[in-house]
Amino acid sequence: MLDQLLVKYLGLQLSEVKEKLAFVEKYQAGAEGYGNTNDVEEGYFDPDAEDRIYEFPSRPVKNLETLRKSVEGQYFSAPKVKYERREQRIRISYDKEKKRSYLEAMYVCEDNRTLYICQMCKKPWPFFEAVQIEKGPKLELWQMHMLLCPICAEHYRELRNDSSKITDFISKLCEADENQDEPVCVSIGLKTINFTATHIAEIREIKRLNALSKVNDETKTTSHE
C-alpha cells in the first residue's frame, strides 16, 4: 500500500521506493548506523547508548511585525493559480521547488538534516509530500502547505474532502496562538496537525489578508452597481 502511494504521489521508481522504505524501517527500528542513537555522528555504534529522540522543530516568531510585512509582500506579489487545458487540465503557475524548500527549512530535523518531521505523526522521514491545506487556492503561497509523510498525506486528503472538517480546521488555524509553546497543535477530525509558531503566524496573516481582499472586492462590486 505505502509503496504504491510513493510511486503515485512522489513519482519515484519502485526500486527507489523499496530502498527508501528499507531505510525507514531500519531507522525507526533503531538499526545500527541509521541515526537514532546518540553516537551515530561519531561513526560507530554503541549498543549501550540511549536511543535518540528527535524533537519537533522549533521556529519561534522573532518579530511578528516583520513577519507580517514579509508575508504581506509575498501575498500581494504571489502569482494567481493558473491552469492550462491541454490533453488534461494542468496547473502551470505551480512552483514546486519554493514550496518544498520552505517546508524543508521549517520542518527539518535539527539533529539529522537528512530527515524531516511529519506534521501529523511527528515521525522523521527522509522524504515527504507537500500537501495543500485547502483545495482550490487562488494564489500560489507555499506557506499554505504542510509537510506530511505519504501515509499521513493520504489521511489528510481524506479529511480535506469533508467540508465541515476543513472549515473547522481553518477556523482553528486562524485562532491558534503563535506565542504558545511549540509545536502548536491544531486538531482536524480525530487527528492533530503540528505547526511551528512561525508557520502558524504566516498562515494567520495570509488568512487575514484573504479576508481583507475579499472585503475590498465586495466593496468595489457594490460601488459599480
* pLDDT tens profile 74-105: 888 888 877 677 666 665 556 678 889 999 99
What are the tens digits of pLDDT across the range 174-186?
999 999 899 999 9
**Model pLDDT, residue 59:** 87
CA angle 83, 99, 179 (to 5 degrees): 125
**Model pLDDT, residue 116:** 96
The mean pLDDT of 31-50, rounded to a whole number, is 39
* Comparison of pLDDT for 17 and 197, the residue scoring more: 197
Residue 51 has pLDDT above 80, yes or no: no
Count of Cβ atoms closer than 10 Å to residue 107 Cβ:
26
What are the tens digits of pLDDT across the range 127-163?
999 999 999 888 889 999 999 999 999 999 999 999 9
Count of Cβ atoms closer than 10 Å to residue 72 Cβ:
15
The mean pLDDT of 13-24, rounded to a whole number, is 66
Residue 119 has pLDDT above 90, yes or no: yes
**Model pLDDT, residue 137:** 83
**Model pLDDT, residue 37:** 38
User: In which band, very low, low, confident or very high, does the pLDDT at 209 lie, cut at 50, 70 and 90?
Assistant: very high
- Cα 43 to chain centroid, rounded: 32
Q: To which H or E segment does residue 39 belong?
A: none
Query: What's the pTM value of the predicted model, to 2 decimals?
Result: 0.64
User: What sign for the dihedral angle of Cα 174, 201, 58, 112?
Assistant: positive
d(CA 69, CA 4): 42
Mean pLDDT of the chain: 80
Q: Do 103 and 142 form a contact (C-beta atoms < 8 A)?
A: yes
**Model pLDDT, residue 79:** 81
**Model pLDDT, residue 87:** 62
